[in-house]
Amino acid sequence: MRQGKYLSEFKQKRYTSTLVRAIKQAAGSMPITLMEVCGTHTVAIYRYGINTLLPPSIEILAGPGCPVCVTPNEFIDRAITYSQKERFIIVTFGDMMKVPGSRSSLVREKGRGADIRIVYSALEALDIAAASSGQEVIFLAIGFETTAPTVAAAVQEAKKRHQGNFHILCEHKVLPPALRAIVEGGELRMQGLICPGHVSVVTGLRIYEFLAHDYGIPCVVAGFEPVDILKAIHLLVSMVISGEARVANEYSRVVLTEGNQRAQQLMQEVFEPCDATWRGLGTLPLSGLRLRPEYGEFDANRVFPVTIDPPREHPQCICGDVLRGTKRPTECPLFRGECTPETPVGACMVSSEGNCAAYYKYRVDK
């Protein structure tokens, strides 16, 4: 009850109205482009109509903050290949089921008889492995720094239990290399960054310091309620106007400067950095995580190598451009026609945190 009351304060109209006025006064008519890189922020901005409250001079772009959306077709194709083999059980988060691969999807393969199960955590996948003697269980490990520690904990538990039929297909990613790639790509004039609250709970603030120090881009870690987001925007606008670039923490009730050090330790113990492919950004050096050699027995790629056909994308899908912030979902020729949440063509329409799905659900027209 107290928690609900506490959160309600971050939705009250008197606070949001004050912040909107402050933003308009601070910004004036100066064009300012901000980016957020968290799918939950994407949804919240459109759900609460924050985009309609801001002056026309302020533009907020959605970046590569949806882990399902940035997962490349190659990973999905590999998971589908495993699912077509009789002795494998594929375990995944629900958002991955309808993501189109090059030629199929997990939900289609399940309809054809593949044993594919939805869970809420990697530990559930470990329990499935314990109850499935004689079968190989592969958990599809996707997500940023938010989910990687939980998967690391499950892998350590599997090693402790000697659960030899538990494996992960790892596609974990870390945000800083993607942010650097967007800035250095030169396609956008990003002047400020709304940093993801969930990721920052684990990482703390230091992972954003290079943006402020090296590129002069102010950063604000934000929560997910209307007041949270509007406070972050006001802070960013004020810094842009004054020429200040630093990392600020608007979400201090949850995020600590140093982050969750135990979670960071778990990731470092189980994973090591590797190059990774991002939808829309290509292969970025040291932007992914893979299992360390001492946990190699749980690496599906290592234990069960498979050959897949070259991945391919739908020729009209612009998910990659949407994830880089260079195009809006409404610029896609498939949007609201061939591509809908019921019949998704691209990953950005599948995930509940995808920009295309948010545009569709909340009827955003521009």
Per-residue pLDDT tens digits for 121-152: 999 999 999 999 999 999 999 999 999 999 99
> Which of helix, strand or coil describes residue 117?
strand
Alpha carbon distance, N-terminus to C-terminus of the chain: 38
Burial class (CB in 10 A: 0-12, 13-18, 19+), 314: middle
- Asked if the model's pLDDT at residue 336 lies above 60, the reply is yes
Domains and CATH numbers, the chain: 1-310 (3.40.50.11740), 319-361 (no CATH)
Name the amino acid, one letter, at 319: C
Q: Write down the pLDDT at residue 8.
A: 63
How far is 35 from 189, CA to CA, in rounded Å? 10
In which region does residue 143 sit, left (phi positive, over 0), alpha (psi from -120 to 50) or beta (all else)? Answer: left
**What six digits make up the tokens of 239?**
């810094």
**Beta-sheet pairing, 166-172 with 192-195:** unpaired
Q: How confident is the model at residue 14 (pLDDT cuts 50, 70, 90)?
A: confident
**What percent of the chain has a predicted confidence (pLDDT) above 70?**
97
pLDDT tier at 3 (50, 70, 90 boundaries)?
very low
Amino acid letter, residue 255: V
Residue 68's identity, in one-letter code, is V
**Strand order, beta sheet including 58-62:** 58-62, 32-36, 192-195, 219-221, 247-249
Task: Quote the crossing angle between the two packed helices 39-47 and 226-242, to the nearest 10°.
Answer: 100
Q: So what's the pLDDT on residue 186?
A: 87
Instruction: Calculate what percentage of the chain has a pLDDT beyond 90.
Output: 92
